[in-house]
Homo-oligomer: A and B are copies of this chain.
Amino acid sequence: MVDINKIRVNLPIEKIPTHWLNILPDLPEKCPPLLFPQTMLPAPFEVVTRIFPVECVKQEVAQEPLIEIPKELREAFVQLQRPTPLQRAISFERAIGLKGDDIKIYYKREDVSPTGSHKSNTALVQAYYAKKQGLKGLITETGAGQWGSALSLGCATMGLECTVYMCRGSYQQKPGRRVLMEIYGSKVHASPSPETQIGKGFFDKDQNHPGSLGIAISEALEHAMRDDKYRYSLGSVVNFVLLHQTVVGQEALEQMKMLKEYPDVVIGSIGGGSNFFGCASPFIKAKLKKEHPNTDIIMVEPTAAPKMTKGKYAWDFGDAVGAGPVAKMYTLGHSFVPSPIHAGGLRYHGSSPIVSILNKNKVIRTVARSQTEVIKAGVLWCKTEGILPAPETCHPIFEAMNQALEAKRKGEKKVILFNHSGHGFFDIQAYTEYLSGSLVDYELPDEEIEASLATLPTVDESKF
């Protein structure tokens, strides 16, 4: 018998975090700025504030270790399911052969948000600041719709307009999240669309063009630039998005304290870096401050988009066509075209500057895992813990299992924590393929990475 109070821990609602945790002052080296693509120089404040809400731009470079969360936002967080539960994976542990309490796997339930992922943690905040600034709306892009649906809900909650450019492939084949966005009141365009100059170029040649995240980003940026009452919104990569996600880790830390635990291993999947960082942030901070110097903090990336393990730490464009800001990060090159793995959120060519610095300085580390092995772990997870995980979430599930079994082989005690970033109710296709034996892994020839890396822009840092 297990003590039921140790299976799931609800943080008391009044203990919802009051501040975001800013890692910038603690980084082992200074975080490089975003560059303006036309000049390849640090983007001036007035340029960046034309792209993002002004408060977000301030947070992008803030140096205070803690940044206060406005009260109205905390109220909205509670309505939309914060604090989220922390659970122990009792049934999964048993199924992989663990017994007793020597090795424990905990997971943070970011899937319980109304749109089913961690994305609402920043969507709500960006919409809040946009509203405060007197803007009319936000424009963004989305692949399969995780981010687009989160921003749509954020805008609906704050009373803002929302326009989403959604890759046509997903728009047509995965109507679930598109319909959700429309219910929230968003205008959703299949991208490439005739709505923008950039989109029209592609659309006029092929009205069935399946689209790409790169094109959709470019369309959203162009649209946002048309009218000063609108701004562009981004769901990962940049510092302020990572900042907003730190509520996840702070709650997890408090919940671990309630259990009198501290994790030996912290795991998350890496696409842009925000879900991983959000959960890991307080543990990274404690490691940097030598309070807990030995925590093993692991990012899991797909072998189909191995930016951290096979990419380069370099300046690169954030979007695919070279119209957006340039960042210093681990990248596979902005012209990298990832294979169509189901974990759409992990296919991005680059990664957040913050996690890039941490990875380069070995504060955190990265492993690459294949689609078939992680989905297989996700199936076992669903069968035991009951929750259908998003394909992205299958990555830390697999790695948590890996770490647990390794500890068991070595006879070590271990407390493992991972971010259960989202549910898979809209990702049934991945599981259908797994069950029918048609799920595949994709070979990624080194030459393909080399060719893409050859397109990196040239930046002269001495000019900054």
A residues lining the B interface (CB < 8 Å): 1-2, 4-5, 7-8, 10, 12-14, 16, 71-72, 74-75, 78-81, 87, 90-91, 112-116, 153, 156-157, 175-176, 179-180, 182-185, 379, 382-388, 425-426, 428, 431-432, 435
Chain B residues, CB < 8 A from A113: 386
Contacts of A435 on B, CB cut-off 8 Å?
179, 182-183
Quick one: closest B residue to A88, CB to CB? B79
B383–A75 CB distance below 8 A = no
Say whether A176 contacts B425, CB under 8 Å. yes
Taking CB atoms, residues of chain B closer than 8 Å to A384 are 156
The 3 nearest A-B residue pairs measured at CB: A114-B386, A425-B425, A10-B10
**Does A7 contact B176, Cβ atoms closer than 8 Å?**
no
Roughly how many angstroms separate A113 CA and B179 CA in the complex, as a whole number?
A: 23
Asked if A8 and B79 make an inter-chain contact with CB atoms under 8 angstroms apart, the answer reads yes
Q: What are some 26 contacts across the A-B interface (CB < 8 A)? A: A1-B75, A4-B13, A7-B13, A7-B75, A8-B81, A10-B13, A79-B87, A79-B90, A79-B91, A112-B112, A113-B386, A114-B385, A116-B425, A153-B386, A156-B386, A175-B428, A175-B432, A179-B432, A179-B435, A180-B431, A182-B435, A183-B379, A183-B382, A183-B388, A183-B435, A185-B383
A157, A183, A387: which has the most chain B beta carbons within 10 Å? A183
Quick check: A388 and B13 within 8 Å, CB to CB?
Answer: no
Verify A114–B383 contact, CB threshold 8 A.
no
| A152 nearest in chain B by CB position | B383
Chain B hits for A71, CB < 8 A: 1
Q: In the bound complex, how far is the Cα of B451 from the Cα of A395, in angstroms?
A: 57
Once the chains bind, are A184 and B383 in contact (CB under 8 Å)? yes
Q: B182 to A383, Cβ gap below 8 A?
A: no
Is chain A's binding surface mostly helix, strand, loop or mixed?
helix
A79 to B6, CA, bound (A): 10
B385, A79: Cβ atoms closer than 8 Å: yes
Given contacts A4-B78, A176-B428, A185-B383, 5 further A-B contacts (CB under 8 A): A157-B386, A175-B428, A179-B432, A184-B383, A425-B426
Please tell me if the beta carbons of B386 and A79 are within 8 angstroms of each other in the complex: yes
Residue of B nearest to A116 (CB): B425
With A90-B79, A385-B79 as given contacts, are A183 and B8 in contact (CB-CB < 8 Å)?
no
CA distance A214 to B119 in the complex (A): 42
CB-CB < 8 A to A80: which residues of B?
Answer: 386
Which of A80, A386, A387 has the most CB atoms of chain B within a 10 A radius of its CB?
A386
* A382, B157: Cα distance in complex, Å: 10
Determine the chain B residues whose CB is within 8 A of the CB of A5 once the complex forms. Answer: 13-14
Q: Known contacts A13-B10, A386-B114; is A179 also within 8 Å of B431 by CB?
A: yes
Q: Are A387 and B8 in contact (CB under 8 A)?
A: no
**Chain B residues with CB under 8 A of A112:** 112
Q: Complex formed: what's the CA distance from A306 to B197 in Å?
A: 54
Closest to A388 in B: B180
**B4 near A74: Cβ-Cβ < 8 Å:** yes
Question: In the complex, what distance in Å separates the CA atom of A183 from the CA atom of B425?
Answer: 12
Residues of chain B within 8 A (CB-CB) of A91 are 79, 157
Residue pair B7, A79 in contact (C-beta under 8 Å):
yes
In whole angstroms, how far apart are the Cα atoms of A80 and B176 in the complex? 25
Q: Are A156 and B7 in contact (CB under 8 A)?
A: no
**A12: B residues at CB distance < 8 A:** 10
Q: Is A115's CB under 8 angstroms from B386's CB?
A: yes
Give the distance to chain B from A318, nearest Cβ to Cβ, in Å: 29
Docked Cα-Cα span, A1 to B72, in Å, equals 7
Complex alpha-carbon distance, A175 and B436, angstroms = 13
How long is the Cα–Cα vector from A4 to B73 in the complex, in angstroms? 11
* A336 shortest CB reach to chain B, Å: 31
